[in-house]
Amino acid sequence: MSEYVAPVRDMQFVLKELAGLDQVAQLPGYEEATPDLIDAVLEEAARFAEEVLSPLNWPGDQEGARWHDKTVVMPAGFKDAYKLFADSGWTALANEPEWGGQGLPKVVAAAVGEMWKSANHSFSLCPLLTAGAIEALVLSGSDELKKIYVEKMVSGVWTGTMNLTEPNAGSDLAAVRTRAEPQDDGSYRIFGQKIFITYGEHDMAENIIHLVLARTPTAPEGVKGISLFVVPKLMVNDDGSLGAHNDAYCVSIEHKLGIHASPTAIMAFGDRSGAVGYLVGQENRGLEYMFIMMNAARFGVGLEGVAVCERAYQRARDYARDRIQCTDIGVRGGPKVPIIKHPDVRRMLMTMKSRAEATRALAYVVAAAHDAAVRHPDAEMRRHNQAFVDLMIPVVKGWSTESGVSIASIGVQVHGGMGYVEETGAAQHLRDAQISTIYEGTTGIQANDLIGRKMAREGGSTLKMVIGLMREVDARLAGQSGNDFAAIRRRFATAVDALAEAGDWLVATYSADVRAASAGAVPFLMLLGVVAGGWQMARAALIAQAKIDAGDNDPFYAAKIVTTRFYADHVLSQAAGLASSVTEGAEGVLALPEDMF
C-alpha cells in the first residue's frame, strides 16, 4: 500500500502564480511570509504528513476510536502524533502572535491543511474544529474568555468543538432546545444533548473546550433566540490549572461509514447539576457567532474534498503503474502491460488529476482573497474580496467535496475488484469522503445559501464581477496559438456563457418562484464550481505557456497545459448540460405528487 506524497510542486505553483502569494505577503502583518519561508513550511509540513500522519491512516481506520464509560481512547499512535503535531507548532500556524500563533496567511494554512487531510482525514478533523473555535472566540468572546482559553487552544494543549446539532433539530437550528440557566456568579448552567460532535471526547489533549448553542429562559423562539456558550470539559481554576470534571460527558460515539479514527460524540450536558458555561458575546447572538466558526469549518471541509481527490488519485496512479494486465490495446500477441497504458484507465487518471488541480487552485485563490478581505489597507478592496469569498465558500465546500466523492469512486474503479478490498486503501478514501458532503451543511444547504444569500440578495452583482474576470482570461486565451489553447478557449468561452445565462435566470426567478429556483440550486453550484475551476486552470495554462516561451523547460509546465486541455474537453464540456438543468429542469423536479414517489 503506497503512502501519501505531498504535491509540493503544484502547491507552490498555485500559491505563487494563481493565489498571488507575493501580494498576500505585502498585506499588513504578513510581511515575513517570504517565498523562502513558505517553501520551508511546505517542505516541513510535507515531511510530517508523509512520515507521521500517513502511516497512521489505514491502521487508524481499522482500529477506530473506542468509547468506554464516557471516555474515548484514540487508535494507537494518534496521541503521540498529536503531541508532536502541537509541539512542532502546527496548531499555531495561522493564529495571531498575540495568542502564541505564527501569524502566517490563511492561504498558506490552506496548503498545509490540505496535506493533513490527504495524509490522514480523521486526524485532521481535530485541529480543524479547534481552529474554528479559536476564531469564534477571538472575534466574539470577552477579553476574560480569550485570556483563559485562546492561548491554550492555539498551542494545541486544549482542543475545541462545535456543538450545534440536537436529536430533534438536525440542520434546523431554530429547533434547538438545549437550555442555559443564568447563575448569580455570571455563569450559566447548560442542560441538553448534542449529537454529531466531532472530537467531542478523546485522549489527545489535556482539555476540550466545547462551544455550545443554547437558549436562555427569556430567549425568543427561532434562530433569534440562540446564544453561544463556552463549556469546558474540565473546569479551569483561577490560576489556570485544571480542576474538576464539568457536567459535560460523552455518552456514546457513532458507528460510521468512514472516518473511523475520528470520534463523533453524543454529548450530554447537565445530566447532574448542570454543565457550567460562559456566555460568548451578547445573549441571543449565538448563531451569528457560530457562523464565524461554521464558515471557517466549511472552507476547511472543502479542502477535504481537494485532499481526497489528490490522495485517491495518487493511490490509483501508483496502482495503475504497477498492475500488469492485458496487452496494449491494438497489439496482438504482445507482452502484458501496466494498466496505465490502457486509454480508459488514462481517461480516469486524467479526470482525477485535473479535478484535484482545479479544486486546489480554486480553494487557494479563495483563501488568498480571505487574507485580503481581512488585511488589505483599503476598505473597498476588503469589501470586494469579502464579497468574492462569500460567493465562493459554498462552492469550495459543495463542489470540492462532491468532486472528492466522485474521484474516490473512480479510484476504486481504477483498482477494479481490488478496489473493493480494504487492504488496497482505495475503499477507505471513498468511505471517508462521503461525510464531507454532509457535515457543516449538505450540498443542498450550500447551494441554497449560494443562490439565496449570496446571489439573489445582491442581484447577482458579485457573480457578474467574477464572470467579468473570467471573460478577461477568455480574451487572453484568444491570443494564444496551437490546438490545445484553441480547444481550451472554445470550451471555456461556452462554459462562461452558460454560467452567465444560468446566473441571470436564477436571479430573475428567485423572487418570483423560489421553488423553481431552488430546484436548480445544486446544478448551479456544480456549474459554478466546474467553470470556476476551469477559470483557474485556464490561468494556469497561460502562465505555464509564458514560462515555456521564456525558455523554461520544466516538464511541469507542459503537463499543466495538457491537464488543462483535458479538463476543458471532459469537465468544462459539462457546463451546458448543467445550465440547462438550472433553467429548464424545475418542472420535472416539482411536478410529481408526493404520493407518487
The DSSP bridge partners found for residue 265 are 197, 253
Return d(Cα 414, Cα 317) in angstroms, integer: 8
Q: Where are the domains of the chain?
A: 442-590
pLDDT at 171: 66
Return d(Cα 33, Cα 359) in angstroms, integer: 24
**Secondary structure (DSSP) of 514-542:** HHHHHHTHHHHHHHHHHHHHHHHHHHHHH
Residue 508's nearest CA partner among 455, 568, 553, 567 is: 455
SS3 letters across 238-301: CCCCEEEECCEEEEEECCCCCCCCCCEEEEEECCCCCEEEEECCCCCCHHHHHHHHHHHHHHHH
Return d(Cα 41, Cα 70) in angstroms, integer: 38
pLDDT at 170: 66
Return d(Cα 396, Cα 403) in angstroms, integer: 10
pLDDT at 148: 97
Q: Can you tell me which residue has the cell 424545475?
A: 586
Exposure b/e, 93-113, CB count within 10 A at least 16 = b: bbbeeebbbbbbbbbbbbbbb
**Secondary structure (DSSP) of 197-243:** EETSS-SSSSEEEEEEEEB-TTPPSSGGG-EEEEEESEEE-TTS-EE
Type and span of the H or E element at 66: strand 66-68
The DSSP bridge partners found for residue 324 are 338
Query: One digit per residue, pLDDT tens: the chain, 597 residues?
Result: 789 999 999 999 999 999 999 999 999 999 989 999 999 999 999 999 999 999 999 999 999 999 999 999 999 999 999 999 999 999 999 999 999 999 999 999 999 999 999 999 999 999 999 999 999 999 999 999 999 999 999 999 999 999 999 997 766 777 789 999 999 999 999 999 999 999 999 999 999 999 999 999 999 988 899 999 999 999 999 999 999 999 999 999 999 999 999 999 999 999 999 999 999 999 999 988 888 878 888 999 999 999 999 999 999 999 999 999 999 988 888 899 999 999 999 999 999 999 999 999 999 999 999 999 999 999 999 999 999 999 999 999 999 999 999 999 999 999 999 999 999 999 999 999 999 999 989 999 999 999 999 999 999 999 999 999 999 999 999 999 999 999 999 999 999 999 999 999 999 999 999 999 999 999 999 999 999 999 999 999 999 999 999 999 999 999 999 999 999 999 999 999 999 999 999 999 999 999 999
Tell me the residue type at 212.
Answer: V
Type and span of the H or E element at 327: strand 324-327
Collapsed DSSP state (helix, strand, coil) of residue 176: coil
Cell numbers placing 36: 523562502
The DSSP bridge partners found for residue 279 are 229
Residue 85's nearest CA partner among 118, 51, 39 is: 51
pLDDT at 223: 85
Directed axis angle between helix 121-140 and helix 106-119, to 10°? Answer: 150
- Kindly list the catalytic residues: 440
Return d(Cα 459, Cα 270) in angstroms, integer: 46
Rg value, the chain, Cα: 24
Collapsed DSSP state (helix, strand, coil) of residue 337: strand
